[in-house]
Amino acid sequence: MKDTASKSYDYVIIGSGFGGSVSALRLSEKGYKVLVIEKGKWWKPDDFPKTNWNIRKWLWIPSLRFFGFFKMTFLRHVGILSGVGVGGGSLVYANTLPRPKEAFFKTGSWAGLADWQKELEPFYAEAEKMLGATTNPKLFDADNALKQVARQMGHEKEFVPTDVAVFFGEPEKTIPDPFFGGRGPERSGCTHCGACMTGCRHNAKNTLDKNYLWLAIKNGVEVMAEHLVTAVKPLGAADGSEGYTITYKKVSGFFTQNKTVKAKGVILAGGVLGTVRLLLDMKLKGLLDLSGKTGDDIRTNNESLILVHSKQKDKNFSEGVAIGSIFPPDKDSHVEPVRYGSGSGFFKLMGVPMIFGKNGFIRTIKLFGRFIAHPVSSFRIYFSKNFAEESVILLFMQHLDSTLKFKKGWFNLGSRVSTGKAPSSFIPRAKELANRTSEVTDGKPFVMATEVFFGIPTTAHILGGAVIGSSSKTGVIDSRHQVFGYKKLLVCDGSAISANPGVNPSLTITAMTERAMSLIPNKKN
């Protein structure tokens, strides 16, 4: 697109994920002139890599000139998996759209500010409609294995197929838009190939560029990809009532120059890693009145990711949608079987046998002992030619609470424990589920090497850092998502999630943003 320096917008939206895309559409429908700035690339079905071995197309590491759509970030207390690109996390997420349990709406910094479950109900319904949520129609080997585990634990009745953002239709048959009365793009039926998280090459996954963002662009919203916002500063009045200057630069260029654009309002929607980092920078130079809670109340969804590598040659655990089923092993937890498409074996390089222990030294000794005592089962994963077909990844989540605080580090973000215990890789219930799944599939459990050596858990759902509170002493934003102390500056992404949902949060981010946008009045002529 043309240089924006001479342009002015009603709203600039930073990020194009679930918060950014929803904001773009709803603001455009209210008559506002909107620009979306996204640091990642545009992706079409044919652009996605066939497997995650094509790391240059898959991974986002700009310093190495890797401009993919999947990002891994490792901090002191947590490893974070996230998405980058036009459509944000929807490009890499597992399509799964569960609603949280009741406890989510009554805990955390937002507790008591509204009857959140009742307040958000119509917006959950709208989000499900817009994202094309439908019940997964078919279970495959990984789902059936988890169903056996649920039966063993007395929870078979609670085992259910997931609601997912996928167009099933007739496999690979292209039809006119089935969701928006012909206003959306053509779609093709799901093939159940399991490759949802390496980018859907079959035009079946309901990514944001096929619904919210597609419709927003038709309404005149501009999208500027491959640009990173580095500063947001008030124009004139310190509270932003006269608007903001947004500074950005091209990500993919060798010699980039800072450029600016002006807007009356700004929506921060770059995900926790983008929004919180930007706010921490601006708290020192530009948005000096930001709450002292900025960067606080970071949550990991209390997740554990455990890989079970099976010896069952008659099974193919790569078939299905990325997450096709779910069940609660207890009142505080959920577990789902995750899959990658056939041929995607990158994560086997990062896996080691699952080891529990009090500290890294003890775990390392145990690990080497495991390699020596059981070399065949321990090393077999690394020589697997059909890793995705032979593997079930268990995604275990809890809504039990503990929080981190993000702060500015030397090169990136830093982290420290805020309240409760530090997030742990070693959750007894997760271990039990891994062992039960291993028995059912004749497999062995593996985890990320960072968990064993450093005790750092891995999450695909980092949340918080700019949470809702009653005042700037308890949160960064109010119940309308407005940043305390500033006009028309909103946070609408995972940073605003103010309690542990204990399930995949994409639907909740979408619903919360729908509500926030409903509170903004139509533009006056």
In the chain, the N- to C-terminal Cα span, in Å, equals: 27
Is position 461 annotated as part of the catalytic site? yes
428-441 and 141-152 helices, crossing angle to 10°: 120
DSSP state of 162: P
Query: Helix H segments across 360-472?
Result: 360-373, 375-379, 428-441, 449-454
Shortest CA distance to 290 belongs to which of 482, 43, 46?
482
- Residues 512 and 126: their CA atoms lie apart, in Å, by 11
Residue 27, SS3 per DSSP: helix
CB 130: neighbour CB atoms within 10 A?
Answer: 21
Residue 251 neighbours by CB under 8 Å, 6+ apart: 39, 62, 67, 226, 227, 228
In Å, how far are 90, 92, 298, 511 from 96, measured between CA atoms?
A: 10, 11, 22, 14
Q: Which one of the listed residues 192, 227, 309, 461 is annotated catalytic?
A: 461
HEC letters along 223-239: EECCEEEEEEEECCCCC
CB 267 within 8 A of CB 13: yes
Active site residues: 461
